[in-house]
A = this chain, B = another copy of it.
Amino acid sequence: MQAHSDQARISGKTVVLVPTMGYLHPGHLSLVAEAKKHGDEVVVSIFVNPAQFGPGEDLEAYPRDFDRDRALCREAGADVIFAPDPDTIYGPGYQTYVTLEKLPQHLCGLSRPVHFRGVATVVTKLFNIVKPHAAVFGQKDYQQLLVIQRVVRDLNFDIDIIGAPIVREPDGLAMSSRNTYLTPDHRRQALCLSRSLDRARERVQAGETDPDRIRREALESIEARPDAVVDYVTLCDPHTLEPVSTLNRPVLMALAVKFGKTRLIDNRILDPRP
């Protein structure tokens, strides 16, 4: 992969990376489409990264279908698939991790303590292996996008990070490889995530400035679903993820909710300005 990218760079091509864990859905394919706008050579990495799963999480269960992914990548116009196996990526004596001191102390980092260390580490590795000029990440994993932007700035990677909007099912559910875990009943209940964000936007547009009131309303409506277990519903600064006390500038509303073993996330920027 490094030799291929060296060659592409020497011949003046712009390399763009789309890191994924595979089991591709239209959300991923929108990242590939975005990548094609920014470069000549689009590399999709497919790697279910053990380092970003904690004990008891769904590493083994995580859905995989390489043949289908390959066909989808080809169709979407990707030029290269980089799909290493875990023993190559984490070899004998592996011991080096990229850690962040502040961003992981919020949102998903609280219930998934090793997650962002795993993300920052594997993305650093992918950057060094694929040597891209740019990389595209989905805004659905908003905190992940912030973490990557911070790693790139802090570690001086010469790589442009491009965020791409959330892609949703027709009824509003944010696309995720994990949606495949949902029973039909949970799939219906799971609409509460996007609906809470829609409702919050309406409330802000109608002049609500108290983040606590918006948060409580969302909590109530989510907890009214029989199987929803809230991990967090948070309104916070979209750059630092620190809590906010009033809605006088754009804030991030982010939520994580479990249905059985399936943990779903969603988010939206709420902008109080007219």
Q: Is the CB of B102 within 8 A of A153?
A: no
When chains A and B are docked, how far (Å) is the Cα of A95 from the Cα of B6?
A: 30
| Count of chain copies | 2
B155 close to A128 (CB less than 8 A): yes
A10 at the binding interface (Cβ < 8 Å): yes
- Interface size for A (C-beta < 8 A) is 32
Smallest CB separation, A198 vs chain B (Å) = 32
Tell me the nearest residue of chain B to A88, going by C-beta: B156
Contact across chains for A128 and B96 when beta carbons are under 8 A apart = no
Judge whether A150 and B95 touch: CB under 8 Å.
yes
CB pair A101 B97 closer than 8 Å: yes
B98/A154 in contact, CB under 8 A: no
Q: In the bound complex, how far is the Cα of B94 from the Cα of A99, in angstroms?
A: 12
Which chain B residues border A158 with CB–CB below 8 Å? 2, 6, 128, 131
Give the CA-CA distance A97 to B150 in the complex, in Å.
11
Which A residues contact B (CB, under 8 angstroms)? 2, 6, 9-10, 91, 93-103, 120-121, 124-125, 128-129, 131, 150-151, 153-158, 240
